Amino acid sequence: MAERTKRDKKSDARPGDIVLKAKQKRRTAEQIAQDNLKKAEQKAAEANAALEAHQAGVKRVSKKEAALRAEDDVARQTFARPDLVTAELKRSMVEKEKHHLRAL
Protein backbone atom coordinates (compact mmCIF):
# COMPACT_ATOMS: atom_id res chain seq x y z
CA MET A 1 0.00 0.00 0.00
CA ALA A 2 1.12 3.57 -0.77
CA GLU A 3 2.29 5.65 2.05
CA ARG A 4 -0.12 8.33 3.10
CA THR A 5 0.98 11.92 2.37
CA LYS A 6 1.59 14.07 5.37
CA ARG A 7 1.25 17.79 5.78
CA ASP A 8 4.28 19.87 6.52
CA LYS A 9 4.68 20.26 10.26
CA LYS A 10 5.13 24.04 10.01
CA SER A 11 2.03 24.63 7.93
CA ASP A 12 -0.29 24.87 10.89
CA ALA A 13 2.17 25.86 13.57
CA ARG A 14 1.42 29.59 13.26
CA PRO A 15 -1.82 30.10 11.33
CA GLY A 16 -2.08 33.75 12.41
CA ASP A 17 1.11 34.62 10.51
CA ILE A 18 -0.83 34.58 7.27
CA VAL A 19 -3.17 37.27 8.58
CA LEU A 20 -0.42 39.33 10.18
CA LYS A 21 1.76 39.32 7.08
CA ALA A 22 -1.17 40.34 4.88
CA LYS A 23 -2.03 43.38 6.99
CA GLN A 24 -1.33 46.75 5.47
CA LYS A 25 0.89 48.86 7.66
CA ARG A 26 -0.51 52.21 8.69
CA ARG A 27 1.24 55.45 7.88
CA THR A 28 2.80 57.45 10.65
CA ALA A 29 1.79 61.02 11.44
CA GLU A 30 5.05 62.24 9.88
CA GLN A 31 4.33 60.39 6.64
CA ILE A 32 0.83 61.83 6.52
CA ALA A 33 2.18 65.34 7.12
CA GLN A 34 4.77 64.90 4.36
CA ASP A 35 2.14 63.61 1.95
CA ASN A 36 -0.18 66.52 2.77
CA LEU A 37 2.69 68.98 2.26
CA LYS A 38 3.53 67.45 -1.13
CA LYS A 39 -0.12 67.63 -2.18
CA ALA A 40 -0.36 71.28 -1.12
CA GLU A 41 2.84 72.17 -3.00
CA GLN A 42 1.62 70.36 -6.11
CA LYS A 43 -1.76 72.10 -5.92
CA ALA A 44 -0.08 75.50 -5.54
CA ALA A 45 2.23 74.79 -8.49
CA GLU A 46 -0.73 73.77 -10.67
CA ALA A 47 -2.65 76.89 -9.67
CA ASN A 48 0.39 79.05 -10.44
CA ALA A 49 0.83 77.40 -13.84
CA ALA A 50 -2.86 77.91 -14.65
CA LEU A 51 -2.64 81.58 -13.64
CA GLU A 52 0.45 82.14 -15.79
CA ALA A 53 -1.22 80.45 -18.77
CA HIS A 54 -4.30 82.64 -18.30
CA GLN A 55 -2.21 85.81 -18.08
CA ALA A 56 -0.28 84.83 -21.21
CA GLY A 57 -3.57 84.35 -23.04
CA VAL A 58 -4.84 87.72 -21.86
CA LYS A 59 -1.64 89.41 -23.06
CA ARG A 60 -1.84 87.68 -26.44
CA VAL A 61 -5.46 88.75 -26.92
CA SER A 62 -4.76 92.31 -25.77
CA LYS A 63 -1.94 92.62 -28.32
CA LYS A 64 -4.27 91.48 -31.09
CA GLU A 65 -6.97 93.87 -29.91
CA ALA A 66 -4.49 96.75 -29.82
CA ALA A 67 -3.38 95.98 -33.37
CA LEU A 68 -6.98 95.86 -34.56
CA ARG A 69 -7.76 99.09 -32.72
CA ALA A 70 -4.79 100.80 -34.39
CA GLU A 71 -5.93 99.60 -37.80
CA ASP A 72 -9.44 100.82 -37.11
CA ASP A 73 -8.11 104.23 -36.06
CA VAL A 74 -6.10 104.55 -39.27
CA ALA A 75 -9.03 103.38 -41.36
CA ARG A 76 -11.37 105.82 -39.59
CA GLN A 77 -8.97 108.71 -40.19
CA THR A 78 -8.46 107.88 -43.85
CA PHE A 79 -12.03 106.89 -44.65
CA ALA A 80 -13.01 110.32 -45.92
CA ARG A 81 -9.67 110.88 -47.65
CA PRO A 82 -8.48 107.70 -49.40
CA ASP A 83 -5.44 109.58 -50.69
CA LEU A 84 -4.07 109.62 -47.11
CA VAL A 85 -3.94 105.84 -46.87
CA THR A 86 -0.33 104.87 -46.45
CA ALA A 87 1.39 102.25 -48.53
CA GLU A 88 1.93 100.13 -45.44
CA LEU A 89 -1.76 100.08 -44.66
CA LYS A 90 -2.51 99.12 -48.25
CA ARG A 91 0.03 96.31 -48.01
CA SER A 92 -1.43 95.04 -44.76
CA MET A 93 -4.94 95.12 -46.22
CA VAL A 94 -3.78 93.14 -49.26
CA GLU A 95 -2.04 90.61 -47.00
CA LYS A 96 -5.21 90.20 -44.94
CA GLU A 97 -7.30 89.65 -48.05
CA LYS A 98 -4.84 87.03 -49.30
CA HIS A 99 -4.88 85.32 -45.92
CA HIS A 100 -8.67 85.26 -45.82
CA LEU A 101 -8.84 83.88 -49.36
CA ARG A 102 -6.37 81.11 -48.45
CA ALA A 103 -8.45 80.22 -45.41
CA LEU A 104 -11.50 79.70 -47.59
DSSP per residue over 3-61, as a string?
PPP---TTTTT-THHHHHHHSPPPPPHHHHHHHHHHHHHHHHHHHHHHHHHHHHHHHHH
Domain that holds residue 88: 29-103
Q: Is residue 23 part of a domain?
A: no
Q: Is residue 5 part of a domain?
A: no
pTM of the model: 0.49
Nearest-angstrom CA–CA distance, 48 and 46? 5
Q: Is residue 14 part of a domain?
A: no
- pLDDT higher than threshold 80 for residue 37: yes
Q: Is residue 39 part of a domain?
A: yes
Q: Is residue 21 part of a domain?
A: no
Nearest-angstrom CA–CA distance, 48 and 55? 11
- Provide the domain count of the chain: 1
Nearest-angstrom CA–CA distance, 48 and 64? 25
Q: Is residue 4 part of a domain?
A: no
* pLDDT tens digits along 60-95: 999 999 999 988 887 787 777 766 667 777 778 788
Q: Is residue 97 part of a domain?
A: yes
